[in-house]
Amino acid sequence: MQVTKGYKTIPKRWSAQAAVVSVILGLQEALPAWEGIVPDDWFMYASAGLMTLSIVFQGLKQANIPEE
């Protein structure tokens, strides 16, 4: 198996961070702990929006990460 160039920078990238937070928000939708506090489907919409942004973040150059 070969790893892509710059694989060590993946955790620093906004797109990867946004994807992880999106997954966490998606999982929160299944937890009953937020019932009555957060409106219905809020976590689902936030997760979908953040996942869409993570695709946009893929194309952005980040100054703190060197390009290869």
Q: Quickly list H helices, 8-66.
A: 14-28, 42-58
Query: Is residue 18, in this structure, part of any structural domain at all?
Result: yes
Residue 52: per-residue pLDDT: 92
Count of domains observed in the chain: 1
Using one digit for the tens of pLDDT, what is the confidence trace for 33-53?
A: 888 888 888 989 999 999 999
- Domain with 39, as residue range(s), is 11-57
Query: Is residue 6, in this structure, part of any structural domain at all?
Result: no
Q: How far is CA 1 from CA 4, 10, 13, 19, in A?
A: 10, 17, 22, 23
Lowest mean pLDDT among 7-11, 23-27, 55-59: 7-11
Query: Is residue 62, in this structure, part of any structural domain at all?
Result: no
Residue 8: per-residue pLDDT: 81
Distance between CA atoms of 9 and 61, rounded to whole angstroms?
13
What is the maximal distance between C-alpha atoms in the chain? 48
Q: Dihedral, CA atoms, 42, 44, 49, 55, nearest 10 degrees?
A: 160
